[in-house]
Chains A and B, each alone.
Chain A
């Protein structure tokens, strides 16, 4: 008789691997099934052009939990996270805004644009860091269900209450505003400098189908500060070897604990019997059995593709159908013969070694969103650009470079669909936009990879190419993620769990969903 595993993890993205590592570490026999030839999901490095390595999809480590790095000894398994030094916002008029690691230098630079903002900037940073401290425990917590609280839910709720109470009046009020306002309105209360506001607000819109003036976009501003309070652990940064190195390190840790990982093994369906998951069927018809099955795929794929409709309550199915997972971004990866030379700040410097943000003003971002609202990609998109080879020279041959451009907005439901011509036009728009700031870019492009949200979906399987497996909007966070009543990693199908970014606390290379799900499985007696 074929081997029966303790757990099958569907999908070898970083969360699937984290879940597998934690289960294997607890002595369980675990099998990870990944459809592609390499693990990582959207967290992969691929050499698509000889010598040039692309972090094809995700490109920075966002909030990888320190406890995961520690529990899985990821440093020993090769994970090295390098600092991103600066945020550079080139401006159309030939000016720029550059924020770096040095406090005084950044103050001077903001002062150039707005003396008032320069002073307020620190105050704002402190307040946000304090709120992040209060909110951070939520990232490591199984969301309590406030509607049907059990003993543990009540405990979590009480714990949460005491955290919020400890914030004190001023910060509590700021937190309430963050939870309800738009990023633009919230930042308007603090700052006047357009490029500063726009660049800061960008973190609130990444991966969502919202503009900076849409309510609810303020909350994600806080995420940026969560990384800072992890301090020396450096949760934000660039992984040496690209984001694929993160998956490799987690996979290596999982294997060291005894987990089995199979690639080229696409799961077609979850096998159920009497409302209980028994195993999976692969695309080639092979059946594999386990005591539990955990899916790290997004909620729509998990429940609408892998599960038979009859296995799910209708209300649940409908809620999953309503789950917002709109693709809103694309990715352009470039191989370069030489560095881009920015008109506003020529030559090499700190400004090229961090994030380059195309976000000159709030109006610019909101107009970029306007295009998307009506089914077009942004004619002048917001971009978060990185030159990974300047941070890790191993990403490209000596003297040459790779450039990663995260581009928003690129709606999945593009008018006329994502044809080859549209994809090319999208790629041209990105290059043209960048050339407005760094004209030498075009002539130095050796290779260009353009990924529309449809491409992201077809390669990684992420529904609509949404990078977070579901938007990080307040109505889809915490005990509402993915749907109310099912935010604790369990599902209406017994022994079927969810462990991807579609669960709390959500997307980015964070790993917390995988870890928390594994702990819930173990809690249930696996």
Chain B
């Protein structure tokens, strides 16, 4: 049986839906209520508390820590100041993405790398000859993600330091009650939010503190189904859903470069050599073959298709993690990898991969929609990401 997370003693009694789902090496709540809608809206209107402990976490320390990480990730670690957090992908030698995650610089040569899949062996393999200590702290470190407009006010009740000074994608050490933590101004929701990291043994205590502080603000425990809607609105991709790790791809065509995933901004070709650099440098000189974009499906079209069958329109209220074909005229030009009805923007949206030259913003497409067992086509168009970008996200 897969274990729960260090917060299980707190999340289990709240999980009225008994809706447990696998995430990495653990099970976590998919949703706490039978209907996760409230959990989603909490992210956008009050605050939601997610258990994100299943993330893989690696502590990397030592004089060569920077060198190791610069060898692995595509961004330039020397530009990451102490107290800063980088989002970054990393690639294989062919420049195809293996995983993506965040890198926290906790000290001059102390880092924490978080990611969706195990990467310990990959870090070891690249550390040959370097003076660096790599420790898998996945089980030792527990993490909560507090996301939503009230997140700062809630955490400020517990945090001695002024949280207004903790900028977007920065991290600091702190003490909440008697629990030593790191607080990072990060999240996977596209909203104002924080992630709080602590020793696994202190996890229940941390939960209780945040839970109590959050009550007056309408804090809601939220599961990964709600997060999955928020992250699509935020235009954030998910490994194994929106792309396949080069490590796991059965065929070459399933691999993607950072450029093809919209992560070109996170590739720094000016820095010292890193895994995949040569391939990426070459790729950058060529026109892109694929691009990761946002699409919006035309509501009137969808409504018309369903009405013609005598039905009210049906759209996915949870993120549909399935590949849906996209066409231009009769030609297949790509696929949507995550599609969902966005409750806050009232748009039917998707994250999609499109072939050149069909990925320019504004391009009209058709998306396959199944209506009463029949495959139909609804109009869609390429739009800018993210779909939802409130100013408070970076505030």
Contacts and interface: CB of A to CB of B under 8 A. Distances in A.
A70 B313 CA distance: 15
B390 to A, nearest CB: 10
B287 interface: no
B44 A80 contact: yes
Nearest to B17: A102
Nearest to B346: A75
Interface string A220-258: 000000001111111000001000000000000000000
B45 A392 contact: yes
Give the dominant DSSP class at B's interface.
loop
Contacts of B216: 393, 398-400
A219 B215 CA distance: 42
Quick one: which of B150, B317, B343 has the most chain A CB within 10 A?
B343
A85 B46 contact: no
Nearest to B344: A80
Nearest to B388: A75
B45 A231 contact: no
A80 B153 CA distance: 21
A232 B341 contact: yes
Interface string B328-358: 0000000000000101111100000000000
B167 interface: no
Interface in A340-388: 353
B50 to A, nearest CB: 18
A101 B45 contact: no
Contacts, number: 68
A74 B153 CA distance: 28
A233 B317 CA distance: 11
B46 to A, nearest CB: 5
A157 interface: no
A85 B153 contact: no
Quick one: which of A240, A398, A400 has the most chain B CB within 10 A?
A398
Contact of A232 (B35, B45, B218, B313): B313
B87 interface: no
B34 A105 contact: yes
B313 A231 contact: yes
Nearest to A67: B300
Nearest to B34: A102
B45 A82 contact: yes
B46 A393 contact: yes
A482 to B, nearest CB: 31
Contacts of B217: 393, 398
Contacts of B341: 232
A393 B214 CA distance: 11
A233 B41 CA distance: 14
A171 B393 CA distance: 50
A38 interface: no
Given A82-B41, A390-B218, A75 B345 contact: yes
Contacts of A102: 34-35
A129 B312 contact: yes
Interface string B224-256: 000000000000000000000000000000000
Contact of B215 (A75, A101, A240, A399): A399
A133 interface: yes
A125 to B, nearest CB: 13
B9 interface: no
A450 B85 CA distance: 53
A234 B343 contact: yes
B150 A83 contact: no
A389 B150 CA distance: 13
Contacts of B150: 393
Contacts of B268: none
A83 B310 CA distance: 25
A101 B37 contact: yes
7 contacts: A66-B299, A70-B299, A85-B35, A228-B312, A392-B45, A392-B46, A400-B216
Please provide the 9 A-B residue pairs with the shortest distance between their CB atoms, ordered closest to farther.
A399-B216, A393-B218, A398-B216, A229-B312, A101-B35, A102-B34, A232-B341, A393-B46, A75-B346
